[in-house]
């Protein structure tokens, strides 16, 4: 599948290189003794929750909460700091698939929720200081049928997509084997450099709210316990640098969340995904110079593709500044050992790494690819960036859920096995499990969760939920019961091996 993409902002596309000077290793001199809210995890989810709790608070009567964010490693060192940056929900396919699992009304809500991420993320990025094609006939025909359903049933999203037949698809994508393309307008498709967006957001929040937000990196939360009767707070969060008392605890910990909430382990598992960065062939167009097509309303920038080829989803995003390519995927290569993995320090398996190194010229065709480029970056550090076609290859851990929806919302005591002494004062919450599509799930999930928490702080209740927020994401017992716990997720896996 081919999808035309705008770039929200000219973010670079390399993994923590360089690391954010003010945020990557940030620590309080002394770990805070207490906080209204402890957020565990500093990726897109944790950052969105902190952002919306602090920035959307103005019109609310609740006081600005005191938030302590904990991160086991460097800031934003999980999936968000390792991803391809694609904000590209395949609305046509996802709507039809979601209807198989939930009601039509919920499926439509989820489809709109995901499509709204481009606007939401561009809006958020603009608040930061300045720096800051399907190629097989049947899948293509199926995608076109799905798009027709979407157009009929959710026209406000469906009308943002268009279909190009073979000749036009080949002409604009420079992929000789393309059989057709679905193109999304700038409203429903974009790209962002997750690491830079998140670390610059954290920097802005820490600068703007020094009394309300602390960030402690290299601080692993190892356990959460209910406090005794005399304690001032509901929970004690134990870390390797001391204990923090908190009224609310938020798990923004991706696939590691079941470490704290084992029941979620029946439906949420870690999967190792692989990603790579490439110079690209000298024959490929520079950003902004790709063949134009009707209805191309992209902002000037690189181009991006999702390709359903070779049995898995591959995706490519071109960096608008230097023309380099982020290429992720290889999911079609059978490596069952990638499921239930929680260690993202490992190198991709040989077959996947070889695929990532070699597949791009075969997508574009060697004629279009041209000669290999040799204009390596001036600041090349060969221990980190390789001098060759492939600049770097790495892994990240994604949180898969068995029904393909994230878990976002309040956790009942039945889930956590922890009695909450003073429910009016707080509780436990989760925002995790974005199924390899966090860029069009996690930001607005964080906004939704922050509204739920703020509402709880104002009314001491978890209700009501919001018109725009899909109830299908709530961590309910009924939802867990419906899931097939024998598929990928396992409660008995030790997820602490990476960071303890
Ligand atoms: C290789 C790869 C490519 C991807 N490409 C795309 C893409 O192109 N488009 C897209 O939409 N999505 C993509 N995704 C998915 C997307 O990156 C994720 O869904 C999203 O970043 C998840 O954000 P998060 O904040 O929930 O989790 P994370 O970013 O993983 O953050 C969780 C954080 O919690 C920390 N943590 C965990 N346990 C503890 C603990 N006990 N104490 C303290 N800290 C802890 C971790 O260190 C981590 O930093 C990709 C994922 C991977 C792995």
Q: Tell me, using a 6 A CB cutoff, whether residue 254 lines ligand 1.
A: yes
What per-residue confidence (pLDDT) applies to 294?
Answer: 65
| Tens of pLDDT, residues 94-129 | 899 999 989 999 999 999 999 999 889 888 988 887
Q: From ligand 1's centre to the CA of 391, what distance in Å?
A: 22
What per-residue confidence (pLDDT) applies to 34?
Answer: 98
Helices marked H in 84-236? 91-101, 104-115, 117-126, 137-153, 155-158, 166-173, 194-208
Q: Tell me, using a 6 A CB cutoff, whether residue 352 lines ligand 1.
A: no
Q: How many CB atoms lie within 10 A of CB 371?
A: 8
Q: Which of 16, 45, 78 to mutate to test the pocket of ligand 1 (most atoms within 8 A of CB)?
A: 78
What per-residue confidence (pLDDT) applies to 296?
Answer: 61
Tell me what percent of the chain is helix, strand and coil, each rounded to the nearest 5: 30, 20, 45
Q: List, for the chain, all residue ranges whose pLDDT scores fall below the cut of 70.
A: 1-17, 58-62, 130-137, 294-302, 308-312, 331-336, 378-383, 460-465, 483-500
Contact assessment for residue 74 and residue 461, using Cβ atoms and an 8 Å cutoff: no
Q: Which residues contact 336 (CB under 8 A, 6 or more apart)?
A: none
Q: Tell me, using a 6 A CB cutoff, whether residue 338 lines ligand 1.
A: no
Q: Kindly report the length of the chain.
A: 500
Q: Tell me, using a 6 A CB cutoff, whether residue 221 lines ligand 1.
A: yes
What per-residue confidence (pLDDT) applies to 256?
Answer: 94
- The whole-chain average pLDDT of the chain stands at 84
Contact assessment for residue 401 and residue 102, using Cβ atoms and an 8 Å cutoff: no
What per-residue confidence (pLDDT) applies to 277?
Answer: 92
Q: Which two tokens mark 170?
A: 């080949």
Q: Tell me, using a 6 A CB cutoff, whether residue 44 lines ligand 1.
A: yes
Q: Tell me, using a 6 A CB cutoff, whether residue 91 lines ligand 1.
A: no
């Amino acid at each position: 599948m081919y999808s035309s993409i705008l770039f929200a902002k000219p973010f670079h596309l390399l993994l923590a290189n360089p690391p954010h000077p003010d945020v990557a290793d940030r620590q309080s001199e002394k770990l805070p003794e207490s906080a209204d809210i402890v957020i565990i995890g500093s990726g897109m989810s944790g950052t969105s929750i902190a952002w919306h709790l602090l920035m959307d608070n103005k019109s609310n009567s609740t006081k600005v909460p005191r938030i302590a964010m904990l991160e086991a490693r460097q800031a934003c060192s999980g999936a968000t700091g390792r991803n391809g940056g694609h904000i590209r929900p395949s609305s046509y396919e996802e709507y039809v698939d979601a209807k198989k699992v939930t009601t039509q009304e919920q499926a439509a809500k989820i489809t709109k929720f995901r499509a709204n991420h481009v606007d939401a993320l561009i809006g958020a990025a603009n608040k930061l200081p300045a720096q800051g094609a399907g190629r097989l006939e049947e899948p293509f025909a199926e995608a076109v049928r799905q798009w027709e359903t979407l157009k009929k049933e959710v026209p406000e999203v469906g009308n943002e997509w268009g279909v190009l037949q073979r000749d036009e698809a080949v002409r604009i994508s420079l992929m000789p084997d393309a059989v057709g393309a679905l193109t999304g307008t700038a409203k429903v498709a974009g790209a962002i450099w997750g690491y830079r967006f998140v670390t610059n957001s954290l920097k802005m929040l820490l600068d703007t709210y020094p009394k309300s937000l602390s960030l402690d990196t290299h601080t692993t939360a190892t356990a959460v316990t209910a406090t005794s009767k005399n304690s001032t707070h509901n929970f004690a969060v134990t870390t390797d640098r001391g204990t923090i008392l908190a009224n609310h605890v938020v798990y923004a910990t991706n696939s590691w969340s079941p470490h704290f909430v084992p029941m979620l382990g029946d439906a949420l598992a870690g999967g190792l995904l692989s990603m790579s960065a490439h110079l690209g062939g000298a024959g490929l167009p520079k950003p902004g110079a790709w063949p134009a097509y009707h209805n191309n309303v992209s902002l000037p920038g690189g181009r991006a593709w999702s390709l359903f080829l070779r049995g898995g989803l591959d995706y490519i995003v071109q960096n608008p500044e230097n023309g380099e390519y982020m290429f992720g995927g290889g999911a079609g290569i059978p490596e069952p050992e990638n499921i239930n993995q929680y260690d993202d320090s490992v190198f991709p398996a040989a077959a996947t790494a070889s695929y990532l190194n070699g597949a791009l010229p075969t997508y574009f065709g060697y004629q279009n690819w041209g000669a290999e480029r040799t204009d390596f970056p001036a600041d090349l550090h060969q221990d980190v960036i390789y001098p060759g076609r492939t600049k770097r290859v790495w892994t990240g851990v994604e949180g898969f859920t068995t029904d393909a929806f994230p878990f976002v919302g309040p956790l009942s005591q039945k889930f956590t096995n922890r009695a909450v002494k003073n429910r009016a004062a707080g509780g436990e919450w989760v925002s995790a499990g974005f199924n390899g599509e966090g860029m069009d799930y996690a930001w607005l999930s964080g906004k939704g969760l922050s509204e739920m928490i703020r509402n709880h702080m104002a009314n001491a209740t978890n209700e009501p939920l919001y018109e725009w927020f899909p109830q299908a994401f709530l961590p309910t017992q009924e939802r867990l019961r419906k899931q097939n716990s024998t598929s990928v997720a396992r409660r008995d896996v030790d997820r602490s091996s990476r960071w303890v």
